[in-house]
Amino acid sequence: MKPTALVIGAGIGGIATAARLAKNGYDVTVLEKESTPGGRCNQIVRDGHRFDIGPTLFLMPEIWEETFASLGEKMSDHLDLKRIDPTYKVHFDDGLRLELTSDIGKMQTQLEAVDKTAFTGFLGYIAEGSKHYKISVEKFVGRNFYNIFEYFSLKNLPLIFNLKALQKHYTNTSRFFKDERLKAAFTFQNMYLGLSPYDAPATYSLLQYTELAEGVWYPMGGMYAGIQALTKVAEKLGVKFVYNSPVKKINAGKLKVESVITADDKTYTADIFVGNADLPYIYKELLPDAKEAKKLDEKLYTCSTIMFYWGVDKQYPQIAHHNVFLGGDYKASFDQIFEDHTLPEVPSFYVHAPARTDAAAAPEGQETLYVLVPVGHLDARSEQDWDALVNRARETVFTRIEKEMGITDLKEHIKFEIVYQPKVWKERFNLEKGAAFGLSHNFWQVGYLRPQNRHAKYKNMYFAGASTHPGTGLPIVLLSARLTTERILKEKGTIAVQKVVKPTLNPA
């Protein structure tokens, strides 16, 4: 008889863990509160407009490739990837524009127009990012740590210093660039992880390396195509998905979890359990573990976001696939987000226009626009008038787009608007404090120091997702699924560890 596994949540980490366990002989059931899989990586389809709700950047394709390979599949059979280059158009409020691209000649021309020494700095910065990426994936992000001595071993300690884990990203960037705008252009990517570059470890220069060297990709059909493909593979392997079934309680005995109860009072038992809901939410709301929940509540959390999903009845070809608008005092902006937990006086924002690459994302002659404005997470101790903050964020977007792109009529051509803000992230996705990216990443919240992917007391309760090891971001959560599965198989008597496979991808 097959061992049984029950996964709470069909986010990408839950789907991938379920599929890997099924591939290794488990009978797997996934309970999902929504009517469709994906979690934060879900989609909205309305009046012919298709929006990805959360992530819009397909990064680190070799990790996706390894996930499909471990399940006996080829990624290319499931996803049609297009490379986006230039990766972004970056707009500064003083009129400077940069197109970040893997075309070295174009980068040299643009950077030297800002500062004669900047291109040399750029090459050094990308070289350091390459080193950080390779060491991180091989030695830290891509492995489990079963005790603190493994993490702070004589072999690992020099690597922690090589990765500059104790240095701040923005400070380290000053070694390579003099111009403040260039420092911003090569650190704003920390916001994908919901982090401030003034707090994030310098290790995260690996993000810019992966974008420019490995590429920013787009799966035709949107990021949700990745969710659909993995769900299809999981179902092919025998995984059963039960939708509209939120878990309301995890029943635990002295040393193990016995069962879970859903909102409709159904009880599910299994040999092992995997929590893919946000980890702080599981400890606070589902497990009988108030002490650990309090410890998690006191940890640092990522920021939140105000999102606008606009169905537009006119095309605006001047809006690229990925657009970043940086504004105001860079340091003050991050302080207002991460310390004051509010919207900066001069907000920065990101605009995604998928129809530039994928015509099916919008009706013919129309536009699907996704706007992300970073903002502080929910904080009961500070006054947060979300209606006022949303209105101010919206007006900022209209003003900047008119000023820098000459688009004067966007407001009149919006057919409908859907808004997400921190309360929605908390209520719909059970994200503690409405922190859109889960727990933060600083030196004390990474590696072995991050919440473990197995409960300390209940030895059959595991976790996969953004707030456990190794962290947030879609490809990193795919690694979380691999590491959690490896741990389960190791501790339950079998193990089938697979190396990360490097794919061959052709830019399209």
**What single-letter amino acid sits at 401?**
I
Nearest to 303 by CA among 343, 331, 332, 276: 343
pTM of the model: 0.95
Residues in the chain: 508
Nearest alpha carbon to residue 384 among 432, 434, 334, 440: 434
Instruction: Provide the sign of the torsion angle of the four alpha carbons 6, 43, 464, 375, taken in this order.
Output: negative
Contact 73, 507 (CB under 8 A): no
| Distance from C-alpha of 51 to C-alpha of 47, rounded to nearest angstrom | 11
Report how far residue 1's alpha carbon sits from residue 491's, in angstroms, rounded to the nearest whole number: 19
* 58 phi and psi angles, rounded to 5 deg: -95, 100
The C-alpha angle with vertex 341 and arms to 339 and 344, in degrees rounded to 5, equals 95
- The pLDDT value recorded for residue 381 is 83
Q: What was the pLDDT predicted at 493?
A: 65
Instruction: Tell me, rounded to whole angstroms, the distance of Cα 64 from its chain centroid.
Output: 14
Sign of CA dihedral 118, 119, 120, 123: positive
Instruction: Give me the residues paired with residue 210 across strands.
Output: none
Cα–Cα distance for residue pair 8/14, rounded to 1 Å: 7
According to DSSP, residue 184 is labeled: H
Q: Which pLDDT score, from 0 to 100, does residue 502 have?
A: 43
How open is the CA angle 133-13-219, to the nearest 5 degrees? Answer: 70
pLDDT at 75: 98
> What pLDDT, on the 0 to 100 scale, is given for residue 159?
85
Q: What is the pLDDT of residue 494?
A: 60
Phi/psi of residue 369, nearest 5 degrees: -115, 135
Q: Annotate 352-409 with three-state secondary structure.
A: ECHHHCCHHHCCCCCEEEEEEEEECCCCCCCCCCHHHHHHHHHHHHHHHHHHHHCCCC
Q: Consecutive sets of 10 residues in the chain, 508 residues long: mean pLDDT of each?
A: 96 98 97 97 98 96 97 98 96 94 96 96 95 90 91 87 88 95 93 88 90 94 98 98 98 96 98 97 93 93 97 97 93 94 96 98 98 95 91 97 96 98 96 96 90 95 96 94 97 57 38
Q: Distance between CA 8 and CA 247 in Å, rounded?
A: 7
Q: Where do we find the tokens 């900066």? A: 344
Query: Which residues neighbour 5 within 8 Å (Cβ) at sequence distance 6 or greater?
Result: 18, 21, 26, 27, 28, 29, 270, 271, 272, 273, 274, 488
